[in-house]
Structure 1
């Protein structure tokens, strides 16, 4: 069931259930080895993106900017873009510059493709890095759109049609955590598969303490591996609401590489689907014993925790691919999602949730697209939620409803360790399930006038 995304009394967005489109592109570019994200727009845009990314990942991050001012809105920002890339080359010596547009440059009509073509002609005598550009105005889409567009642009603009065939498997995991990326790479290797993960933020946005500051963090997907993706043996991408021009479908359309599209592998059914694909790609008849044990422990945990979670009413919000996976997982453990909210629009979210929860939920949740938290709060007040799942932006509403907030997704800036939270496969599902059960136990203890020592 879908609802009207705009409150009849609302005249503006008060607290958006999404972030800026170029922020997502910056996150994707940060997952490429030696890359520097570059925003073609005002300096304030880059400052805003850095603030959000740093507060979640607790890592230093530089985002370059063409630093446009008032006069560039009239005369165009081409000269600043060229000069800015030269400055980035001088300061960072990047292997790649990922250029994302902003509201300003899209509105004035700067043709980034043409400007960058001129840049290569003008400075072709220099040792130029690869430059990838993507259109990401914030009045068109969300941070997840920017992320997906940037990943598609990396594949579309860098993949070499002459690359040799290989046994590598391309993995496009979407907006999962650095810890999830590390877990996924480990799982693929356990099956004897060699993955090229794009983007790979497992080190670039969750690195070790260093004696000396690195202007460009080590780690990330090597540009050479991105160029070689046209020769990959297969591709796997996560997301129930991905665009038609996703990175995986780009490889399939241009190079005939078979693409398996799965929802984020959260929950037993979601994880089973991933391991089934890995069995097929690796030629194994069944999953390794290690994962059979993880799955069995998760089933045991479901049984042990059932009395705490069954029948609880939940509100879920956030990035569209994540909320579909979360809703399917909640249905699996006996929680009733009553409201699912997202800032995205036109992605078929309701249909994806219906397909993911078919035969599991007695009643489908209300799905609200293109909403802000004002809309979500108005709707949820009448639903008496007992559990809330989403990022930190919903904290004040969960508090008003006196319901525990399970922080998941991006951004998490009012708790520590958001970059190390796992959600994928059996191991990530186990960690999330434990957090949910413990939050409900803590709520019961806190609400009791006498307290509970044993539950």
Structure 2
């Protein structure tokens, strides 16, 4: 790469507030609220809708030029009042933007003032909870915004002590299909689970005759209040192991044991997840999941001759890249480049951890954009790209297949229904990957073939 290249061209990340909005959307009766300009909320609404194909309201304090000078406190207070009266929200998740962080608005103090000024509003039975989180885009990616918002939810809502039989599941930013699968899985282990956040219905709901201001679904607020009473928490994310996460907060404040795991993509990472479920539940894995594992291994054998030695470039948010790389390495695909716009400084370490069996370790790049990825890919000559839709231009330029995973998927239908996790998710990913490789070879053949 050129030493004097400094600008960002097609970033391989999204802004921090969009992650917070997605996390808040996974809470029952919640309305995400951006304290900043109207343009931020409009952009994020449209971006999220294009992936999930669901209505997505994001309220805004709609700051203008004068607010950049005099502060946005009055706008924030009026915006909270509007959302309370017009939406009937049970919770308002307030995330800051670059503008409000730069001018120095003290959001917790503004909220405290608002509560004192509007005592009648907050003494009523219908008063909303107000949860705030600091999410300037220059402070990280959408994944930091997501995890910070989840931690804020636990920090500001979870209050109940004691102990019950529930399990907290903090899966990170995965698809609605993944969350439905996780809830089914823990139910099969006879575990009562609180998933935070739960976007399985709020961002992938059924067709309705009437428009709902706030979509159904999401983690009930009562369940979040009682998360400190759980007997264990399970938290996905290798690159957040050392961060002050929601799982670590529940451990330090309430004594809830936290199991930190990698995102369970593929056989080995899923095996570790199932091992933890067996430990917590005291039960062996249910037969249907044992069979899913067996079918996955069988399909690894069946597909090995078609994909062994294929070179893959994997990009996206860091923990997804780590999980996908583990999955590729165990089935014979050579990950040649693992790239992310994230800057946790943990990506290389975790990629090395999940690729120990490889002779040639992949190149690992963090803090990169698609200009950087494209330059590397031109030299590495991969057989397939694996990541979200923002990599399509590279796939088209180099004439190689793009396997769409993660977020955002804007140029296909069904991004919210992509299953990534567990043996079942690995099976779906494997079939998609192998068939893309076969299709490419089939299309490139001068004679073509219809049988293998």
Q: Give the TM-score normalised by the residue count of structure 1.
A: 0.97
**Equivalent residue, structure 1, for 2:173:** 175
Matches within 5 A, 1:64-213: 64-126=59-121, 127=124, 128-160=127-159, 162-213=160-211
Aligned to 2:390: 393
Task: Say yes or no: does 1:422 pair with 2:419.
Answer: yes
The alignment yields a C-alpha RMSD, in angstroms, of 0.9
Does 2:376 align with 1:367? no
Q: Which residue of 1 aligns with 2:375?
A: 378
Residue pairs, 1:56-71, within 5 angstroms: 56-71=51-66
Query: Alignment partner for residue 403 of structure 2, among 393, 406, 411?
Result: 406
Structure 1 position 7, deviation (Å): 4.5
Check if 1:8 corresponds to 2:8: no
Whole-Å separation in 1 of the counterparts to 2:368 and 2:374: 10
Question: Which residue does 2:429 correspond to in 1?
Answer: 432
Deviation >3 Å, runs of 4+: none
Native 8 Å contact 2:28 2:216 kept in 1: yes
Cα deviation 1:207-238 (Å, max 9, x = unaligned): 00000001100000001100110111100011
The one of 4, 20, 26 aligned to 1:25: 20
Q: Secondary structure at the match of 1:382?
A: helix
2:344 pairs with one of 325, 343, 346: 346
Can you list the C-alpha shifts for 1:165-217, whole angstroms capped at 9, x where unaligned? Answer: 21110000111100000000000000000110000000000000000001100
Gaps of 5+ in 2: none
Measure how far apart 1:453 and its partner are. Answer: 0.6
Residue 207 of structure 2 aligns to a residue whose secondary structure is: coil
Write out per-residue CA displacement over residues 352-377 of structure 1, whole angstroms, 9 at most, x where no aligned residue.
1111222x211111111111100111
8 A contact 2:385–2:403 mirrored in 1: yes
Q: 1 CA distance for matches of 2:143 and 2:195?
A: 17
Contact 2:420/2:426, CA 8 A, preserved across alignment: yes
Count of aligned positions = 447
Cα shift at 1:346: 2.9
- The equivalent of 1:444 in structure 2 is 441
Distance in 2, matches of 1:39 and 1:166, equals 35
Q: Normalising by structure 2, what TM-score?
A: 0.98
Q: How far, CA to CA, are the matches of 2:358 and 2:94 in structure 1?
A: 43
Q: CA deviation at 1:417?
A: 0.3
Aligned partner of 1:220 in structure 2 is 218
1:11, distance to aligned residue in structure 2 (A): 3.3
User: Counterparts of 1:167-316 in structure 2 under 5 Å?
Assistant: 167-242=165-240, 244-284=243-283, 286-316=284-314
